[in-house]
C-alpha cells in the first residue's frame, strides 16, 4: 500500500471556522470528539500566517481565507468540496480540485 504525505496548510482563521462548525448543535458531537479532532489539527497541520489579503470569491468572501493560506503555504493545489472554490478552477495558477480528482491523479501517477 502506498502512502502519501501531504502538508495541510492552515491558518488560525481557518481553525477558528472549523471549531465553530464542529460545535454546531446539529452535528451532535461530544466534547471529547471535538477535542480529538482539534488535537489532530494542531499536531498534523502546517500553520501559515497569510500576509496577503485576497478577494477571489465574490459569492462567499469568507472562503478567501483558504486562498490566502494556499498562497502563504506555496501549495501545489487546493483540494476542496466547496462549490465557490471549485467554481474558480484555479487561483494564481494553483489548481482547485475535488478530493475525487486528487485521488484519481494520485492513483494514475502510480
pLDDT attached to residue 9: 86
Residue closest to 92 by CA, chosen among 62, 52, 59: 52
For the stretch 27-86, pLDDT in tens is: 999 999 999 999 999 998 999 999 999 987 888 888 999 999 999 999 988 999 899 999
**pLDDT given for residue 4 in this prediction:** 44
Torsion of CA 9, 62, 91, 40, to 10 degrees: 20
User: Which pLDDT score, from 0 to 100, does residue 5 have?
Assistant: 46
Q: How confident is the model at residue 3 (pLDDT cuts 50, 70, 90)?
A: very low
Three-state DSSP state, 22 = helix
Q: Which three cell numbers stand for residue 58?
A: 465574490
**The whole model's pTM is what?**
0.81
Amino acid at each position: 500500500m502506498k502512502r502519501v504525505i501531504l502538508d495541510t496548510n492552515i491558518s488560525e482563521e481557518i481553525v477558528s471556522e472549523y471549531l465553530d462548525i464542529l460545535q454546531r448543535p446539529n452535528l451532535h458531537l461530544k466534547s471529547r470528539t471535538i477535542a480529538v479532532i482539534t488535537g489532530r489539527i494542531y499536531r498534523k497541520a502546517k500553520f501559515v500566517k497569510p500576509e496577503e489579503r485576497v478577494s477571489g470569491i465574490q459569492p462567499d468572501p469568507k472562503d478567501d481565507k483558504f486562498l490566502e493560506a494556499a498562497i502563504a503555504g506555496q501549495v501545489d493545489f487546493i483540494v476542496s468540496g466547496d462549490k465557490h472554490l471549485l467554481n474558480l478552477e484555479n487561483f494564481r495558477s494553483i489548481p482547485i480540485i475535488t478530493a475525487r480528482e486528487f485521488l484519481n491523479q494520485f492513483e494514475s501517477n502510480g
